[in-house]
């Protein structure tokens, strides 16, 4: 087809027929990362329902800021947003826990297969769960976790060590 | 097995079976809503391509391809009489005695949306079964719809039609932003992007800095297939974009 000069209004630059040109990229990211983000959120929150909420919110945030973040390290940004959403969920849960029993987190957890692990993880504080999840579920290095959480590598190491120690103690009283 | 190995193994096993996939539809709609609040609106249609849905086809996609709004109740557009109001009679588009038309009122408080449909419908053969899905105001700072209530400040008006066969017709009336270059006259262009083929026609009057673009698009495997699918010819698209009935008064308070 022949290319001829054609004027589009300035507000249409970067989009074609009303659709942003970056949307294909975002959708590809969504399709490839949604499962990973949901798994990570579940490991942190211990509830599929809460995990889906956190991952869904994270994806929406990524959509909003995609034009700005797409050229950078999107995975780091995505994990950072996810962790923030999970921490916010933790805060909501702890507020709810003071007024209602039992806490919502335990409602839809399948305790049958991994009850010990879930119980042990639930004994950790939120920051330790986040670090252990990123280190051992996502297999990220200390440096990568530090970058995501914007903390020092030494802090990642200490949280990992304390979390593992506490986990070991909890598990020893049950299965180990 | 030490505690690290056990944790690694158990975490992977524990999280292996994700019960449900996230909802791309909801993610994008929520994202759109948040972007709109940030005055940066985006359309969604390309997501459908990745989820295996043709963007002219399903209700889901119809709801997503309305370029700047949530889903609309879709009604078939009926090609009616070519009722043209000259620009000077449009004033600033307040409700007037436009008369009964088979058009939809997408933007309360103005006739510009109905008038735009009337003019465009006059160029669409009833046999095309074209369906208007949205008409909305926009401006230089929006990639999609601006809030309806601010229509008096619009520098663009856009009408979106779907045509069976996965085709989409977008007609844009616009004022060229001050400082932007302006190419006088009519022009045509054909191009493709990610498997979507576009046939476009436009006209711009650099004296008034007003113009109209009509853009037809369709998903296709090849340029030849796209050409075969296009329900409107270049001449028909040009007839729309060059129709002097497509006009609206310059905004009272144009954005900076």
Higher pLDDT, A105 or A88: A88
**Residue B47, SS3?**
helix
pLDDT of residue B122: 92
Do A23 and B46 count as a contact with CB atoms less than 8 A apart? Answer: yes
Least CB-CB distance to A136: which of B11, B177, B190? B11
Confidence band of B48 (pLDDT split at 50, 70, 90): very low
Do B182 and A8 count as a contact with CB atoms less than 8 A apart? Answer: no
**Residue B122, SS3?**
coil
The residue of chain A with its CA nearest to that of B69 is A18
- Taking the CA of residue A102 and the nearest CA in chain B, the distance in Å comes to 22
Do B7 and A27 count as a contact with CB atoms less than 8 A apart? Answer: no
Query: Whole-number mean pLDDT of chain A?
Result: 78
pLDDT of residue B142: 75
Optimal mutation site among A7, A61, A70, A171, interface B, most CBs of chain B within 10 A: A7
Q: Which of A36-40, A94-98, B242-246 bottoms out in mean pLDDT, i.e. has the lowest?
A: A94-98
From the CB of residue B100, how many other CB atoms can be counted at a distance below 10 Å?
A: 6
Confidence band of B28 (pLDDT split at 50, 70, 90): confident
Helices and strands (DSSP H and E) totals, chain B: 8, 7
Closest CA to B93 of B107, B78, B72, B80: B107
pLDDT of residue A11: 38
Q: B209: alpha, beta or left, given left = phi > 0 and alpha = psi -120 to 50?
A: left
- Give the mean pLDDT of B92-99: 38
Please check the confidence at residue A17 and state whether its pLDDT lies above 70: no
Cα separation values, A76 from A5, A65, A72, A150, Å: 41, 14, 9, 10
Confidence band of A100 (pLDDT split at 50, 70, 90): very low
- pLDDT digits 0-9 by tens, B138-191: 888 776 788 888 888 899 999 999 999 889 999 999 988 887 777 888 888 887
Determine if the peptide bond prior to A102 is cis (ω within 30°): yes
**Distance between terminal CA atoms of chain B?**
66
- Give the mean pLDDT of A112-118: 70
Tell me which chain A residues have a C-beta less than 8 angstroms from the C-beta of B162.
none
From the CB of residue A77, how many other CB atoms can be counted at a distance below 10 Å?
A: 19
Answer whether B135 touches A (CB < 8 Å).
no
**Cβ contacts of residue B110 below 8 Å, gap of 6+?**
B93, B94, B95, B151, B152
Do A38 and B183 count as a contact with CB atoms less than 8 A apart? Answer: no
pTM score of the predicted model: 0.47
Please check the confidence at residue A2 and state whether its pLDDT lies above 60: no
**Beta-carbon contacts below 8 Å between A and B:** 197
Answer whether B1 touches A (CB < 8 Å).
no
Tell me which chain B residues have a C-beta less than 8 angstroms from the C-beta of A107.
none
Least CB-CB distance to B190: which of A2, A42, A164? A2
Please check the confidence at residue A38 and state whether its pLDDT lies above 60: yes
Query: Whole-number mean pLDDT of chain B?
Result: 73
- Taking the CA of residue A24 and the nearest CA in chain B, the distance in Å comes to 6
Share of chain A above pLDDT 90, in %: 43
Looking at the predicted complex, does its ipTM rise above 0.90? no
The residue of chain A with its CA nearest to that of B136 is A18
pLDDT of residue B62: 29
Least CB-CB distance to A24: which of B23, B174, B194? B194
Please check the confidence at residue B88 and state whether its pLDDT lies above 80: no
What angle, 0 to 180 degrees and rounded to 10, lies between the N-to-C axes of helices A48-69 and A23-45? 150
- pLDDT digits 0-9 by tens, B99-118: 334 688 888 888 899 899 99
The residue of chain A with its CA nearest to that of B45 is A19
CB B250 within 8 A of CB B211: no
Least CB-CB distance to A56: which of B22, B194, B204? B22
pLDDT of residue B45: 39
Share of chain A above pLDDT 70, in %: 74
pLDDT of residue B215: 92
Tell me which chain A residues have a C-beta less than 8 angstroms from the C-beta of B10.
114, 117
Tell me which chain A residues have a C-beta less than 8 angstroms from the C-beta of B196.
16-17
Tell me which chain A residues have a C-beta less than 8 angstroms from the C-beta of B49.
24, 27
Do B156 and A42 count as a contact with CB atoms less than 8 A apart? Answer: no
Q: CA A71 to CA A113: how far, in whole Å?
A: 41
Q: CA A38 to CA A48: how far, in whole Å?
A: 8
């Amino acid at each position: 087809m022949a290319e001829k000069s054609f004027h589009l209004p300035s507000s249409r630059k970067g989009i074609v027929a009303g659709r942003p040109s970056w949307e294909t990229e975002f959708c590809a990211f969504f399709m490839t990362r949604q499962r990973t983000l949901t798994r990570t959120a579940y490991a942190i929150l211990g509830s599929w329902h809460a995990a889906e909420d956190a991952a869904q919110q994270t994806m929406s945030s990524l959509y909003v800021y995609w034009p700005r973040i797409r050229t950078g390290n999107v995975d780091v940004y995505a994990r950072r947003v996810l962790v923030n959403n999970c921490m916010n969920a933790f805060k909501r849960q702890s507020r709810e826990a003071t007024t209602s029993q039992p806490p919502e987190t335990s409602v839809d957890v399948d305790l049958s297969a991994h009850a010990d692990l879930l119980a042990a993880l639930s004994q950790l504080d939120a920051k330790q769960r986040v670090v252990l999840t990123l280190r051992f579920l996502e297999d990220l290095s200390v440096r990568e976790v530090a970058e995501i959480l914007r903390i020092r590598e030494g802090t990642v190491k200490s949280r990992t060590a304390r979390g593992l120690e506490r986990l070991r103690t909890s598990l020893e009283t049950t299965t180990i | 097995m030490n505690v690290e190995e056990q944790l690694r193994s158990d975490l992977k096993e524990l999280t292996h079976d994700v019960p449900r996939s996230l909802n791309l539809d909801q993610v994008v709609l929520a994202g759109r809503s948040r972007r709109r609040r940030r005055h940066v609106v985006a359309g969604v249609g390309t997501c459908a391509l990745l989820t295996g849905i043709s963007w002219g086809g399903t209700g889901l996609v119809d709801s997503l391809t309305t370029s700047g709004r949530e889903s609309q109740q879709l009604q078939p557009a009926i090609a009616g009489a070519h009722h043209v109001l000259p620009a000077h009679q449009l004033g600033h588009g307040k409700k007037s005695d436009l008369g009964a038309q088979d058009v939809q009122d997408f933007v309360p408080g103005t006739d510009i949306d109905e008038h735009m449909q009337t003019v465009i419908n006059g160029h669409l053969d009833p046999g095309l079964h074209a369906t208007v899905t949205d008409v909305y105001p926009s401006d230089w700072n929006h990639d999609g719809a601006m809030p309806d209530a601010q229509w008096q400040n619009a520098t663009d008006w856009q009408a979106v039609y779907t045509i069976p066969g996965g085709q989409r017709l977008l007609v844009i009336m616009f004022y060229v932003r001050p400082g932007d270059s302006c190419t006088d006259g009519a022009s045509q262009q054909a191009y493709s992007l990610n498997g979507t083929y576009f046939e476009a026609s436009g006209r711009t009057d650099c004296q008034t800095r007003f113009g109209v673009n009509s853009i037809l698009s369709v998903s296709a495997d090849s340029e030849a297939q796209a050409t075969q699918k296009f329900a409107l010819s270049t001449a028909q698209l040009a007839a729309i974009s060059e129709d002097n009935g497509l006009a609206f008064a310059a905004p009272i308070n144009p954005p900076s």
